[in-house]
Amino acid sequence: MAQPAPHQAITANWQRVARALRPAEWVVALFALYLGLALAEAARGGIVTDTSPAEPRLDFICAALSVIAVEQVLRYARTPWPEDSEFVRVHWMLLPFTGIGLVLQVVAVARLGDWGYAGLTVAKSVHVLFALLWLFRRFATCCLPFLLLWLALGVHIKRHGRVQGRVFLREAARGAFEVARDWAPPMLLVLVYGSLGDVLDRQLYPDIDVQLRGFDTWLMAGHNPVQALQAIVTPALSEWMVFCYSFYAVLYPLGLGVAYAQDRASFRRLAFMVTLTLAAGYATYTFMPAVGPAFTEKFSVDLHAYYFGWMKDELMDKYRVPRDCFPSLHTAISLVFLFHAYRYTRRLFWFLLPIVVSIPLACLYLRYHYLADVLAGGVLAVAVWVLTPKIQGWYERARPAVAPAEVPAVT
């Protein structure tokens, strides 16, 4: 039998790899290639800056673990114990050991005076909210992995009636791989944001703040919209704007979590849209860098956010990297979640609507973005929404045997 030519074998192997990767995984791979080329170009040009990367968004990892844990708890509850199982008591006796790490963290957080967080001086309610956020992070990192292992062991015992070591390890590894594969693309893009400063501060291209400000002024017939918003600044409006702007961090676990609980096809569609939006936005940052009005203009009116200012500092400003203005990913990502909720989860859509509608205005009101950034973010969201079914259609035609069924739209 004739052997295939070398180039034919290479082509066949490449096609197998191409079909094995999901669309979101292709986006991650292509963005990693682009980012590597950008770093290589900066290094070749001798452009080096002494900057430290922003803190990674580990909150999103904690939130993803929480969503996965809730789904596993429901799965555990739906699976009945076999009759007269001798492992029921033993399994429940293991549950307290999953919380040892959390207990140690609670002991550590009990000394509020040692936190050194300036925002804690604004109001007693902030003490409670910040403590809950702190405990959530510690719970997710120190307790949830052990809880997930305990749940997986319980489901295994319920199904097989006893512990089968090899079977349990095989099932756990397969399940963990599938969950990680579903969540990895959007989470990787979220985490890579903290490393973008190393690329953006090398300034492969000059900042375009002047051009963006000029476009805003031209579009608004000679008026600067960011400066004009000073006329409507009030404490109540500032609180709402800060809340909506910071809610961007909650959109990820909320939107992805609801989709994950609803249907895997719905979740993968949303995960792909989020991944593609972030990758496109990050890439645009590198060749159209802008610092933003808050850092390039002077304002005569202060923004007062007594209650939610700490929330913005803790969830947003703490992780900010420079030159991340154009396009506004706050606008693009929030619209992507809203579009998806409108099609698949109408109740979530009505809950998100007032917040998401306020986010573009908050980007201007809080002086982080130009009007051009917000408009570009809206265009990006619409483009991703239009392209997604086309890309998924190509993927399903390439892999018809494993392509998930389309989730019916909400009517």
Residue 352 within any structural domain of the chain: yes
In this structure, the answer to whether residues 190 and 251 fall within a common structural domain is no
- Band (pLDDT 50/70/90 cuts) for residue 46 is low
Q: Does 289 lie in the same domain as 177? A: no
Mean pLDDT of 214-231: 92
Q: How far is CA 239 from the centre of its chain?
A: 23
Q: What is the pLDDT of residues 258-292, one digit of tens each?
A: 998 888 889 999 999 999 999 999 999 988 999 99
Are 374 and 231 in the same domain? yes
Residue 18 lies in a domain: no
Residues 373 and 316 occupy one common structural domain: yes
Tell whether 16 is covered by a domain: no
For residue 77, give the H/E element and its range. helix 58-78
| 321: in domain | yes
Residues 6+ apart with CB under 8 A from 381: 277, 331, 332, 333, 335, 336, 339
- Residue at 299: amino acid letter: F
**Banded pLDDT at 50 (limits 50, 70, 90):** very low
Residue 10: predicted pLDDT: 55
Q: How many CA atoms lie within 13 A of 181 on its CB side?
A: 13
Q: What are phi and psi of 86, to 5 degrees?
A: -85, 0
pLDDT computed for residue 321 by the predictor: 79
The Cα–Cα gap between 25 and 29 comes to 6
Residue 242 lies in a domain: yes
Q: Are residues 216 and 128 in the same domain?
A: no
Q: Are residues 107 and 231 in the same domain?
A: no
Please tell me the predicted confidence (pLDDT) of residue 40.
Answer: 78
- Specify whether the CB–CB gap between 201 and 51 falls below 8 A: yes
Predicted confidence band at 98 (pLDDT cuts at 50, 70, 90)?
A: confident
Domain range for 67 is: 56-195
Question: What number of other Cβ atoms are within 10 A of residue 141's Cβ?
Answer: 16
Task: Return d(Cα 98, Cα 151) in angstroms, integer.
Answer: 10
SS3 content of the chain, % helix, strand, coil (to 5): 75, 0, 25
**What whole-number percentage of the chain has pLDDT above 90?**
33
Confidence (pLDDT) at 75: 87
| 155, 284: one domain | no
Say how far apart CA 326 and CA 281 lie, in whole Å: 8
Q: Are residues 354 and 302 in the same domain?
A: yes
Average pLDDT, the chain: 81
The separation between CA 396 and the C-alpha centre of its own chain, rounded to angstroms, equals 25
| Distance (Å, whole) CA 47 – CA 59 | 32
For residues 324 and 142, what is the distance between their CA atoms, to the nearest angstrom?
Answer: 32
Q: Which of 361, 374, 370, 372 is nearest to 233 (CA)?
A: 361
How many CB atoms within 10 Å of residue 5? 9
Cα angle value 287/292/298 (rounded, 5°):
145
Cβ atoms of residues 346 and 381 within 8 Å: no
Q: What pLDDT does 109 receive?
A: 60
Top pLDDT among 130 and 196 is at 196
Of 145, 160, 195, the residue that ends a domain is 195
The pair of structure tokens assigned to 273 is 């849209």
**Residue where one domain finishes, among candidates 160, 195, 230:** 195
State mean pLDDT over 83-96: 82
One domain, residues 125 and 79: yes
* Cβ count within 10 A of residue 49: 12
The last residue of a domain, from among 176, 195, 214: 195
Contacts for 127 with CB less than 8 Å, ≥ 6 apart: 112, 120
Position 403 scores a pLDDT of 43
Is 251 exposed, middle or buried, given 0-12, 13-18 or 19+ CB atoms closer than 10 A?
buried
**Half-sphere exposure (Cβ direction) of 343: Cα atoms closer than 13 Å:** 16
Any domain includes 318: yes
- What's the domain count of the chain? 2
Which residue stretches of 316-370 are H helix? 329-344, 346-365
Backbone angles phi, psi at 225, to 5 degrees: -65, -35
Tell me the C-alpha distance between 397 and 391, whole Å.
10
Does one domain contain both 272 and 303? Answer: yes
pLDDT for res 95: 84
Do residue 286 and residue 183 come from a single domain? no
Lowest mean per-residue pLDDT among 39-48, 51-60, 68-77, 213-222 = 51-60
pLDDT of res. 121: 47
Give the tens place of pLDDT for each residue, 311-357: 676 666 677 778 889 999 999 999 999 999 999 999 999 999 999 99
**Do 380 and 330 fall within a single domain?**
yes
104 in a domain, yes or no?
Answer: yes
Asked whether residue 272 is assigned to any structural domain, the reply reads yes
Mean pLDDT (whole number) for 69-78: 87
